[in-house]
Structure 1
Amino acid sequence: MALNMLKLCVGCDSVEDLEEWIAFRLDEKRRNGEPVEQYHTTRMVPTRAAEITDGGSLYWVIKANVQCRQRIIDIRPFTDSEGIGRCHLVLEPTVVRTDWQPRRAFQGWRYLKPEDAPLDIGDTSSGLAAVPAQLRKELAELGLL
């Protein structure tokens, strides 16, 4: 069974912000002739990388709620120019919206077991995909989502 990761999406106010940022970075790579792939750089290398790359996703916490995820394609450890070990989490650029799940702030990333992960919005029959993001936020704050 695949293992997931959980990370704060710092600097994004919404899933739409994240999608715009991804599109901008991929276009920038195309223009510069670089490989067109999206990755997130993190300091710590997951020790359970094989479980994560076996179908796991990176779940993004935006404004104190898990709101979306991206499938993790690969995990590539490397050493930066200052000699510090880091890691690229290579992500599928498609963002999948999920049910909102409240989360407190934390540093770094956390493992997220599949049974603790929120469902994709498309996997439910509740019709949440049609509900505007602001209304979903308010409903989640009230504990109704």
Structure 2
Amino acid sequence: MLHLTKVAFGATSIDQLLGWWADRGPQARLTTRYKPKRADELVGGSLFWILKHQLVARTEILGFEEAEAGKTNIVVSTGIVRVRPIPRRAHQGWRYLENADAPRDLVSGDGADELPPHLVGDLSALGLI
């Protein structure tokens, strides 16, 4: 499985990122200039969000469709899943992420979903959670 990473441009917190998706219904569209060459491999994968230089959440990639002016819409689910934060540099546009390098989902009840993302990332790096 293949995934994408994208900066959550304009978001200042995980709560704000979650709020973006709250009122959009079951799907949303993100417009990009170019359709990924590996688009077929991405359907069913996830779009991972970068916030403050960490991957913090993901949403499922449902498909791709043509948009106006020759651009492409990435169709994603609005159900967002928090993940164990891992460091990731900011970048423009999107980048591929191999499944082996993708962070694990936060499991409800393990307490990690209640900690600030930067602290979860530090504790995960130390192997403590």
TM-score, normalised with respect to structure 1: 0.76
Match in the other structure for 1:137: 118
Percent of residue pairs bearing the same amino acid type:
34
Paired with 2:122 and 2:112, the residues of 1 have a C-alpha distance of 15
SS in 1 for 2:67: strand
Does the Cα contact within 8 Å between 2:84 and 2:121 map onto a contact in 1? no
Which segments of structure 1 move beyond 2 Å, counting only runs of 4 or more? 77-80, 138-145
Greater gyration radius = 1
Q: Gaps (5+ residues) in structure 2?
A: none
Q: Gaps (5+ residues) in structure 1?
A: 28-35
TM-score, normalised with respect to structure 2: 0.85
SS in 2 for 1:137: helix
Root-mean-square deviation (CA, aligned residues, Å) is 2.3
The structure carrying a bigger strand percent of its residues is 2
Match in the other structure for 1:65: 54
Query: Is 2:47 aligned against 1:87?
Result: no
Q: Figure out how many residues of one structure are paired with residues of the other and give that number.
A: 126
- Deviation of 1:121 after TM superposition, in Å, equals 0.7
- Deviation of 1:94 after TM superposition, in Å, equals 0.5
1:97-122: CA deviation from partner (whole Å, max 9, x where unpaired): 00001111211110100000000012
Name the aligned partner's letter for residue 76 of structure 2: L
